[in-house]
Structure 1
Amino acid sequence: MDDKSATFVVEGEGCEEDVLKWYYHGRSGRPNKNSGELSSKVKKYLSIKGWVFRYALKNGKKELQYQSPHGEVYNSLRMACKSYIDQGLGEGRMGNVDPKQPKKRKCLSIENQPLLKSVQSESPERRNKLKKQENRVVKTSKRVREGPVSSRNPRTVLSLLIDNNVVPMLGNVYYRNKTGPPLMKGRITRDGIQCHCCSKVFTLTAFEDHAGSTNHRPAANIILDDGTGRSLSDCQRQVSDSMKSTTTTLRTRSVVEIPKTVKAANSIRDENDGVCSACCGGGDLICCDYCPSSFHMKCIGLKEVPDGDWFCPYCCCGICGIGYVRDRSFRSCHQCELKFHGDCLNSKKPSEMKTEKNTLLLCSQNCERIFYGLQKLTGKPILVGNNLTWTLLTPDHRAHGGHGMKSSAKKENQCKLRAALEVMHECFEPSESVETGRDLIEDVIFGQVSKLKRLNFRGFYTVILEENGDLVSVATLRVYDNKVAEMPLVATRFKHRRRGMCRVLVDELEKNLVKLGVEKLVLPAVSTTLETWTNNFGFSCIPDDERSKLVQYSLLEFQGTITCQKLLK
């Protein structure tokens, strides 16, 4: 080999999936009609990771060689890919990837580019009402993972207990009887309880049926056969308490470590929001004189900055449209969350529901029907096919109109919400809110509240689809009134994709919304999934003039997404 060689760097982008495809397809010897394009993507990706490509002379001929960041030289692209894979895909993230199902991890980052406009011609009073955000990048975007992180193990309550070292794998359990010996014995697996008598694996509910019980409380009556007397409900409670303790510790540390300047920048108590509450974009914003919300004038249909006090759509009466100037004794509907003057509200024939802590206002018969309809659905699995169940979940503080769940049901509900969060994280990159420093998806699923309307997630439900106790698909849902409901996040586990599971979940969701009298379902779609939602699920893009009419509902939006709607029949 001649020492003289020419090095070059390939510019562009690729992903880890391309590396895996090239190596495993090449090893199998199967032809690939797109091999030239795939080879280019692999070289681009390796170049980004620090690999150097060199043409060197060997036996009088030029030969392309591949040099890793550590100095190893390979004579073929496949061997270079093998080296990269052996090193754990560059950063030790290879995990337990099945060669037949290569890891696919491509992130679509949709981050805000500030809109800068001149306001020099505005009067001082109007300039003070405008908030100009320069060089600001907002990180509350929805970034999609398009490949498996770990899709081997089912997401069940038992797998959650095993992963948290609360119950042992293959640990012995029995279904207890109130009197007499145990009805049935088995052992714990990730998929369910394996029965001792027939060796079949059952979900918790099916194991209870197999034992001949009609108590409908499987977690409370399945006991660990280790002398402790703990039920699976006790184990769920232990996991929940541990998660709360960890969260409290992390938040305490973050408060200690965050500099004062950062805390001041993230505070939303006294300052107006730095992005538009309607589109999440930056630029010149008009600020509400009562709440922290800010908006682009075009997003709310304003042609110029108004003189005097200005109140955003969230701070105006849902009937007369007048803000706090006229009457500060506004009341909010518990379901649609719109505000009303007392005298305006009388025309809607509202109803009130007393709870243990307060009185909830339901502004109309439509909101009353939707509120009680959702309460009846919550926590009750609905059979939607062979071994498929559809369940509506909610954070425990909204359950049963504020009266709360029983302790055992509450712990099981929390475990299922945690499992749903894991599915979301399998499909979406965790997205940290700039203002709160918390994971946006977790805040949605657990209904975190905020004074800032666009970060107030009270009212969100989580819809799950399970197959034999294995969590398959997850969606988040918020119903405002009979006019609109939103479904901002939908995720299907990678190993269950292309089986129509998302279709089953959405169809059942739409059917129940129709029963509640809801007219429209709205969701934000990234460009790569827009065609799927429009062609396969019957959604259509919302025109700008119609989108501005929905601003009062504070729909959860992500920068760069396209708002779509479906009229429900």
Structure 2
Amino acid sequence: MIRVEGEICEEAVYRWYHGDSGMKNSRELSLKARKHLSAMGWEFWYAKKKGKQELRYQSPKGKVFYSLKTACKSYIDERREEGRVVDRDLKPKQPAKRKRLSQETPTQATKKKKKPKKIKRHRSSKRVREAPPPNSSNRNPKTVLSWLIDNNAVSILAKVYYRNKAGNPLMKGRITRNGIQCDCCFRVFTLTAFENHAGSNNHRPAANIILDDGSGRSLSDCQRQVITSSKVESPKIVKDNSYQHESDEVCSVCRDWGELICCDHCPSAFHVNCLGLKEVPDGDWFCPSCCCGICGIGYLSDGSFLTCQLCERKFHVGCLRLEESNDLKNYQTPKNWFCSHRCKNILSGLQKLTGKPITVGNNLTWTLLKSEACSDSDSDHAHGLDASAENDCKLSVALDVMHECFEPSRDIYTGRDLVEDVIFSRGSKLKRLDFKGFYTVILEKNDDLVSVATVRVHGDRVAEMPLVATRFRHRRRGMCRVLVDELEKNLTKFGVEKLILPAVPDAVDTWTNSFGFSHMTDDERSELLHYTFLDFQGTIMCRKLLK
């Protein structure tokens, strides 16, 4: 297989097919077309024909093409069947820069009706892989140790030892992909098991397993080294994930293009029918997320909104004072404010659960993770650093599992990998790309990560689980069932009423027949417009009532 870095440029596909060489040269145009196909899940390789190497193009559906032009034609035909072909002139339309009505005079605002802007683009998709990627090490375990090997932080068969509090070796061994092979009995142990085998109960194996190469580095040091080197470009990541336009170009409810109305306070945009409206509203208009949860009125000029730290719903201070059930003194500072005791208790419960493995039988452990959940302010500073490094390592392994099970899914405007942003809880000024509330759930069998899910709790009414993945080598063994059951048990304990997920069509029957979900109705969706959910093209929203 040939690795081609994905880059969204649908215009290049259309221009190459129609023989347009308006770019600098045809080579640049063909490269951009290949990059776009790669971003959409296409694969490329060379095949021998009459002694020559010829390039082949394989679509996500598995169909092989012998030229870039036929591959582009197939891509265009698929978009035409989906009703998503761009205009024939092939020139991308820039969103109209419209003035916000709040900048007009009151007379103008009452006379002028808000006009929706028309956008035609493609939204992000959620495509399940039918088989692991050709370059995937599908048969290898996915552990923190194998992740360190893959990132060249440690070497296979490198000598290590477990040290006691005095720094003296208690047990020696060698690194393998499956764990640490002990020198005395030649058995292979997971990191935790090797610590127990050495007779220690410190519960900090990575911090006390030392490379026997004279460097004195622990496995925790190696984890921090990889994490630190990967965070060098973190400012760029934050910049790329923020939205630069005045208003969004995709509906925040269905994630599709079309005629959109824009909120006059935030960048979000919506279809009229997705909001349950019969016509475009007059004057200033604010989206459900920017309206008070009590009076339903939008943004006030004095900025007197308080935002709940968990559900992120907004409330006017004046409306809260009129509510007898709300005592502002009990909700701490505006930056750490909760709209109810329920939201406060749910967040507290999630934080207490985060990072603490739960044994669920058959050598399985269930763990809730959150990016940067561990801080350096722990009573034991070194322990805090070690825990934070291991937390980020496990999130990286979880991301590898997601990439093994799902085709690449990038936002059409920012170019960001949506799965990566969700796993690492990255934020954005744009609500539909703001993932800072997400947690990652992992299921491990003897340190081997077998199943992953992402979850975000929007208060006691609803939680969402947009991504669930089980590695190919562990499927049909009930692993996903164990992961979801434990998640539902904890959500029920927190008082969450409903769990929703966007299911791909092929998996709907599994979720409805085996997991107790049902199709979410339009009325149910309209009742939850205050919340922004992660959705994908072609998925079916399902929900389950939690007892």
* Uncovered stretches (5+) of structure 2, i.e. residues with no partner: 1-42, 61-74, 88-108
User: Is 1:420–2:414 an aligned residue pair?
Assistant: no
| Post-superposition offset of 1:205 | 1.5
Give, in whole Å, the separation in 2 of the partners of 1:111 and 1:235: 48
Q: Which residue of the partner structure matches residue 550 of structure 1? A: 528
Structure 1 residues 49 and 398, CA gap change in structure 2 (3 angstroms): closer
Q: Which residue of the partner structure matches residue 49 of structure 2? A: 70
Structure 1 residues 423 and 125, CA gap change in structure 2 (3 angstroms): farther
User: Is 1:132–2:111 an aligned residue pair?
Assistant: no
Q: Secondary structure of 1:462's match?
A: strand
Q: Which residue of the partner structure matches residue 165 of structure 1? A: 152
Q: Tell me, yes or no, if the aligned pair for 1:114 and 1:282 is still in contact at 8 Å.
A: no
Q: Secondary structure of 1:279's match?
A: coil
Q: Secondary structure of 1:344's match?
A: helix
Equivalent of 2:341 in 357, 365, 382:
365
* Corresponding pairs, count: 457
Q: Which residue of the partner structure matches residue 178 of structure 2? A: 191
Q: Which residue of the partner structure matches residue 164 of structure 2? A: 177
Equivalent of 1:392 in 359, 365, 368:
368
Structure 1 residues 115 and 305, CA gap change in structure 2 (3 angstroms): farther
Q: Tell me, yes or no, if the aligned pair for 1:349 and 1:363 is still in contact at 8 Å.
A: no
Give, in whole Å, the separation in 2 of the partners of 1:372 and 1:285: 38
Q: Secondary structure of 1:205's match?
A: helix
Q: Tell me, yes or no, if the aligned pair for 1:460 and 1:477 is still in contact at 8 Å.
A: yes
Give, in whole Å, the separation in 1 of the partners of 2:167 and 2:530: 60
What TM-score do the two structures reach when normalised by structure 1? 0.74
Q: Which residue of the partner structure matches residue 39 of structure 1? A: none
Give, in whole Å, the separation in 2 of the partners of 1:49 and 1:441: 23
Structure 1 residues 401 and 232, CA gap change in structure 2 (3 angstroms): closer
User: Is 1:218–2:205 an aligned residue pair?
Assistant: yes
Q: Which residue of the partner structure matches residue 245 of structure 1? A: 232
Which 10-residue stretch deviates more, 397-406 or 553-562?
397-406
| Post-superposition offset of 1:508 | 0.5
1:130-169: CA deviation from partner (whole Å, max 9, x where unpaired): 1111x4223x211221212221111111111111111110
User: Is 1:375–2:346 an aligned residue pair?
Assistant: no
Any residues of structure 2 matched to 1:414-563 within 5 Å, and which?
414-563=392-541
Q: Which residue of the partner structure matches residue 26 of structure 1? A: none
Q: Tell me, yes or no, if the aligned pair for 2:160 and 2:175 is still in contact at 8 Å.
A: yes
1:355-374: CA deviation from partner (whole Å, max 9, x where unpaired): xxx84112111101101100
Q: Which residue of the partner structure matches residue 309 of structure 1? A: 284
Give, in whole Å, the separation in 1 of the partners of 2:374 and 2:542: 28
Q: Percent identity?
A: 62
Q: Which residue of the partner structure matches residue 144 of structure 1? A: 128
Any residues of structure 2 matched to 1:102-121 within 5 Å, and which?
113=84
| Post-superposition offset of 1:88 | 11
Q: Secondary structure of 2:526's match?
A: helix
Q: Tell me, yes or no, if the aligned pair for 2:309 and 2:338 is still in contact at 8 Å.
A: yes
Q: Tell me, yes or no, if the aligned pair for 2:294 and 2:315 is still in contact at 8 Å.
A: yes
User: Is 1:568–2:546 an aligned residue pair?
Assistant: yes
Q: Which residue of the partner structure matches residue 209 of structure 1? A: 196
Give, in whole Å, the separation in 2 of the partners of 1:545 and 1:211: 59
Structure 1 residues 72 and 429, CA gap change in structure 2 (3 angstroms): same
1:97-119: CA deviation from partner (whole Å, max 9, x where unpaired): xxxxxxxxxx9999883899xxx
Give, in whole Å, the separation in 2 of the partners of 1:429 and 1:280: 18
| Post-superposition offset of 1:352 | 3.6
Q: Secondary structure of 2:529's match?
A: helix
Give, in whole Å, the separation in 1 of the partners of 2:503 and 2:56: 30
Give, in whole Å, the separation in 2 of the partners of 1:352 and 1:401: 23
Structure 1 residues 401 and 553, CA gap change in structure 2 (3 angstroms): farther
Q: Which residue of the partner structure matches residue 299 of structure 1? A: 274
Structure 1 residues 199 and 398, CA gap change in structure 2 (3 angstroms): closer
| Post-superposition offset of 1:472 | 0.2
Structure 1 residues 402 and 531, CA gap change in structure 2 (3 angstroms): farther
Q: Tell me, yes or no, if the aligned pair for 2:346 and 2:494 is still in contact at 8 Å.
A: yes
Give, in whole Å, the separation in 2 of the partners of 1:207 and 1:88: 49
Q: Tell me, yes or no, if the aligned pair for 1:286 and 1:294 is still in contact at 8 Å.
A: yes
Q: Which residue of the partner structure matches residue 260 of structure 1? A: none
Structure 1 residues 402 and 518, CA gap change in structure 2 (3 angstroms): farther
Structure 1 residues 112 and 206, CA gap change in structure 2 (3 angstroms): farther
Q: Secondary structure of 2:169's match?
A: coil
| Post-superposition offset of 1:345 | 2.9
Q: Which residue of the partner structure matches residue 330 of structure 1? A: 305
| Post-superposition offset of 1:174 | 0.9
Q: Tell me, yes or no, if the aligned pair for 2:113 and 2:282 is still in contact at 8 Å.
A: no
Q: Tell me, yes or no, if the aligned pair for 1:240 and 1:414 is still in contact at 8 Å.
A: yes
The one-letter code sitting in structure 1 at the alignment partner of 2:348 is: Y
Structure 1 residues 168 and 510, CA gap change in structure 2 (3 angstroms): same
| Post-superposition offset of 1:325 | 3.7
Structure 1 residues 88 and 163, CA gap change in structure 2 (3 angstroms): farther
Q: Secondary structure of 2:351's match?
A: helix
Q: Tell me, yes or no, if the aligned pair for 1:447 and 1:458 is still in contact at 8 Å.
A: yes
Give, in whole Å, the separation in 2 of the partners of 1:488 and 1:274: 22
Structure 1 residues 391 and 89, CA gap change in structure 2 (3 angstroms): farther
Q: Tell me, yes or no, if the aligned pair for 2:110 and 2:283 is still in contact at 8 Å.
A: no
* Uncovered stretches (5+) of structure 1, i.e. residues with no partner: 1-47, 52-67, 74-83, 94-106, 117-122, 256-262
| Post-superposition offset of 1:289 | 0.8
Give, in whole Å, the separation in 2 of the partners of 1:422 and 1:353: 39
Q: Secondary structure of 1:474's match?
A: strand
Give, in whole Å, the separation in 2 of the partners of 1:240 and 1:111: 41
User: Is 1:342–2:333 an aligned residue pair?
Assistant: no
| Post-superposition offset of 1:419 | 0.5
The one-letter code sitting in structure 2 at the alignment partner of 1:511 is: K
Give, in whole Å, the separation in 2 of the partners of 1:89 and 1:512: 49
What TM-score do the two structures reach when normalised by structure 2? 0.77
Give, in whole Å, the separation in 2 of the partners of 1:224 and 1:372: 38
Give, in whole Å, the separation in 2 of the partners of 1:111 and 1:462: 33
1:464-486: CA deviation from partner (whole Å, max 9, x where unpaired): 00000001000000011111000
Give, in whole Å, the separation in 2 of the partners of 1:398 and 1:551: 32
Which 10-residue stretch deviates more, 407-416 or 431-440?
431-440
Q: Which residue of the partner structure matches residue 10 of structure 2? A: none
| Post-superposition offset of 1:269 | 3.7
Q: Tell me, yes or no, if the aligned pair for 2:465 and 2:499 is still in contact at 8 Å.
A: yes
Give, in whole Å, the separation in 2 of the partners of 1:533 and 1:153: 28
| Post-superposition offset of 1:207 | 1.4
1:65-110: CA deviation from partner (whole Å, max 9, x where unpaired): xxx872489xxxxxxxxxx9xx99878x9xxxxxxxxxxxxx9999
Structure 1 residues 430 and 111, CA gap change in structure 2 (3 angstroms): farther
The one-letter code sitting in structure 2 at the alignment partner of 1:197 is: C
| Post-superposition offset of 1:187 | 1.2
| Post-superposition offset of 1:568 | 0.5
